[in-house]
Amino acid sequence: MTAYPEILVLDNVFPVARNEAELLRWEKLDPLLDVLVADPLMDVTVLVEDEILLSLPTVPLHPEGCCDPESLSLMH
C-alpha cells in the first residue's frame, strides 16, 4: 500500500431557508433542490466534513498505466 493523493474540488451551494414555510415553497419550485433551514445551533464544521467525506471516491483508483503488479504481491 502506498500513499494515495486525491484532489478534491468542491463547489457546493447550500440555499438556506428562513423557516419551514420557505423551505416548502422552495421545494415546490424545485423538488431536487437541497435546502437547509436556518438554525443558530447548526454545526457548520460537521456540514463541511460531511460534504468532504461524500466527495471522496468510494474506491480510489490509480491513474491508468501506473499499476505495479509486483508491489501487490504478498509473497516476494
Residue range of the domain that includes 21 = 12-48
* Cβ neighbours around 35 below 10 Å, total: 15
**What would the pLDDT profile of 16-53 be if each residue is shown by its tens digit?**
999 999 999 999 999 999 899 999 999 999 999 999 99
User: For residue 53, is it within any domain?
Assistant: no
16 membership: H or E segment, kind and range: strand 16-17
User: For residue 62, is it within any domain?
Assistant: no
Q: What pLDDT does 67 receive?
A: 72
User: For residue 75, is it within any domain?
Assistant: no
User: For residue 32, is it within any domain?
Assistant: yes
Stated pTM of the model: 0.60
Total number of domains in the chain: 1
User: For residue 28, is it within any domain?
Assistant: yes
User: For residue 41, is it within any domain?
Assistant: yes
Q: What's the whole-number mean pLDDT along residues 47-73?
A: 79
User: For residue 66, is it within any domain?
Assistant: no
Phi, psi of 16 (to 5 degrees): -120, 115
Which three-class secondary structure state does DSSP give residue 37? Answer: strand
